[in-house]
Amino acid sequence: MTSDSARREEILETAAALFASSGLRTSLREIADRCGILPGSLYHHFESKEAIIVELVRRYRDELDQVAKEAFDSLHEPDQRPVEDRVIELGQAIAACAVRHRAALLLTLYEPPTGAGDELVDLALQAPTAIDAAMAEILQAGRTAGELRSGIDLPLLAERICQSMLHVGVGVFHRSHAQQLPAQKCRVLLHGVAVKVPTKGALDRSPAMQAARAVIAGWDDREDDDRAAYLRAVARAEFGRRGFEATTMRDIARVSGMSTGTVYRLFGSKDDLLVDIMQAYSGNVAAGWDQVVASSASPLEQLDALMWLNINVLSRFSEEFMIQLAWLRQSPPSSVDLGLSFPRQLRQLQDLLAAGERARELRVEGGSLLSRTRSLYELILTPENVILHAGPWGAQALARDTVLRGAMVRR
């Protein structure tokens, strides 16, 4: 490798590490300083920060396509392994790629960042269809062999599995659990966690589902008719569309039709406005979890209701969700914690799982109770694209057919 090639690789690896930890706020000067070179020398290799991002994304997508190609190639070779082993093998390869390319994943998992150039936009909007297709082929082979149940949309299930594997690179556990999570999550989707699955009617009538529906019904679309509520609605839409960093208080004032001074009198800063929006959001979600787990339903019924609750969170609070995605790309403001009450929800789910296991109603194999809880937590959060493709009821049906019942034929 020539010295120029070696330096280029060093710049890319350094940028990837900085983007993964610090987001799009990372400057070219920071990349150059970490490499021990002058910013002017960096321009010898890349004309802009976006040029670095484009190269990182291209490498990530190329590796994902290679993972898919190897999976397709293996389908043409004699393989007597059960479908579970083949799904897990591909899932682990996808997750490993997501962890290695975490920076590119965060930049492209959903919509491209605000202000991105045409080349990056085109790359970011290209869905990783090759891995979905490869997973669907493996699942179809499993159904042909009588290992998978009929009635499940295999392309949708393939997309669900692949998204879950990519999320290993996004999640907060991506470093310490990157080896364990993929196999554990695949096994849950294939075998389910329910020892015995109640009927659809019983789940629909459960006290937990009634509690979830009551909470969802309380999420009134109409804001209170006052200036602060209207301003929150405008800011929520602008933060979701443009991203927090790219939106100014002047932008919000312009869209709202208020003066900038009025905006600052109602909310002292952009950070304060964001805190107000996200606290209301996380408060609604946390209240929903509280109501479900406080119901008199069984742990399995509570788990089912939590999946329905979270499907509706993505449908109802799509703008807040987009704000969180923008936060993944940009390091968050120092005075703001955009996270949901994740530790609280994780504890609630851990208690639910432990109770279900004691009652021999739920089972998740492998690892400690905490690691099993983490896997289950990620799986009850249905990916947004699955909800868009199947609709809320279709997404819940898939969740019940996988997380609860499992896609494989029970022997």
CATH of the domain at 294: 1.10.357
Mean pLDDT for 37-62 is: 87
Give the dihedral of Cα atoms 233, 167, 363, 145; nearest 10 deg: 120
**Are residues 152 and 11 part of one domain?**
no
3-state DSSP assignment of residue 148: strand
Asked whether the beta carbons of 106 and 19 are under 8 A apart, the reply is yes
In a domain, 234, yes or no: no
Q: Are 391 and 130 in contact (CB under 8 A)?
A: no
Q: Print the domain residue range for 366.
A: 200-224+278-403
Given 146, 166, 191, which residue is the final one in a domain? 191
The residue behind tokens 């179809």 is 140
- 324 has pLDDT over 50: yes
pLDDT confidence of residue 311? 93
Packing angle of the helix pair 270-293, 207-217 (nearest 10 deg):
150
Flag whether 122 is in a domain.
yes
Whether residues 63 and 175 share a domain: the answer is yes
| pLDDT reading at 257 higher than 50 | yes
User: Can you give the pLDDT at residue 75?
Assistant: 83
219 shares a domain with 183: no
Q: Which one is predicted more confidently, 106 or 254? A: 254
Asked if the structure places residue 247 within a domain, the reply is no
Q: What share of the chain is helix, strand, coil (3-state, %, to 5)?
A: 70, 0, 30
What's the mean pLDDT in 384-410? 91
Asked if residue 270 is part of any domain, the answer here is: no
The confidence score (pLDDT) of residue 89 equals: 94
Looking at the structure, do residues 215 and 357 belong to the same domain, yes or no? yes
At 210, the pLDDT band (50, 70, 90 cuts) reads: very high
Q: Which residues contact 143 (CB under 8 A, 6 or more apart)?
A: 149, 150, 154
- For 73-96, write each residue's pLDDT tens digit: 888 877 778 999 999 999 999 999
Share of the chain above pLDDT 90, in %: 38
Higher model confidence: residue 37 or residue 334? 37
The answer on 26 and 90 residing in a single domain is: no
Which of 48-57, 167-176, 210-219, 385-394 comes out lowest in average pLDDT? Answer: 167-176
Do 150 and 73 lie in one domain? The reply is yes
Average pLDDT over residues 106-122: 67
Q: Is the pLDDT of residue 121 over 70?
A: no
The whole-number pLDDT of residue 74 equals 87
**Whether residue 304 sits in one domain with residue 381:** yes
Query: What does the mean pLDDT of the chain come to?
Result: 84
Q: Identify residue 96 by its one-letter amino acid code.
A: A
Do 205 and 111 lie in one domain? The reply is: no
Beta bridge partners of 156: none
| 293 and 153 assigned to the same domain | no
At 294 the pLDDT is: 96
d(CA 349, CA 292) in angstroms, rounded, equals: 11
Mean pLDDT of 307-327: 81
Number of domains making up the chain: 3
pLDDT band at 224 (very low <50, low <70, confident <90, very high): low
328 part of a folded domain: yes
Residues 215, 295 within the same domain: yes
pLDDT at position 291 is 95
pTM, to two decimals? 0.84
Q: What is the CATH number of the domain that holds 42?
A: 1.10.10.60
The answer as to whether 350 is a domain residue is: yes
Q: Are residues 43 and 116 in the same domain?
A: no
What is the percent of the chain where pLDDT is above 70?
Answer: 87
User: What integer pLDDT is reported at residue 116 of this predicted model?
Assistant: 65
304 and 183 part of one domain: no
Q: What is the mean pLDDT of residues 17-22?
A: 79
The reply to whether 242 falls in a domain is no
Residue 179 has pLDDT above 80, yes or no: no
Better-predicted residue by pLDDT, 344 or 194:
194
| Residue 2 scores a pLDDT above 70 | no
Q: What is the CATH number of the domain that holds 166?
A: 1.10.357.10
Which are the contacts of 336, defined by CB distance < 8 A and separation ≥ 6?
271, 274, 275, 278
Domain membership of residue 249 (yes or no) is: no
